[in-house]
Amino acid sequence: MNVILTPLRAEHAAAIVRWLEDPTIAESLGLRSEPTLARTRSFIADAANNDSMFARAIIVDGAHVGTVVLDHIDRHIGKARAHIYIGDHTLRGRGVGREAMALVVSAGFNELDLHKIWLTVHARNQAAIRAYQAVGFAIEGVHRDEFLLAGERVDEVYMGILRAEKSGIDGSA
Q: In whole angstroms, what is the distance from residue 55 CA to residue 37 CA?
A: 17
Contact 60, 2 (CB under 8 A): yes
Q: Which CATH class is domain 3-165?
A: alpha beta
Q: From 172, 163, 138, 165, select the one nearest 78 (Cα to Cα).
A: 163
The per-type count for the chain, helices as H runs and strands as E runs, is 5, 7
- Strands across the sheet with 63-74, in order? 3-7, 54-60, 63-74, 79-86, 116-122, 152-162, 138-149
Express each pLDDT in 40-88 by its tens digit: 999 999 999 999 999 999 999 999 999 999 999 999 999 999 999 999 8
Amino acid 29: pLDDT: 79
Low-confidence ranges of the chain (pLDDT < 50): 168, 170-173
Closest CA to 73 of 104, 117, 20: 117
Per domain, the residue ranges of the chain are 3-165
Q: At CB < 8 A and 24+ separation, what contacts does 81-88 make?
A: 81/117, 81/118, 81/119, 81/120, 82/108, 82/117, 82/118, 82/119, 83/29, 83/119, 84/58, 85/19, 85/25, 85/28, 85/29, 86/58, 87/15, 87/16, 87/18, 87/19, 87/22, 87/25, 88/60, 88/63
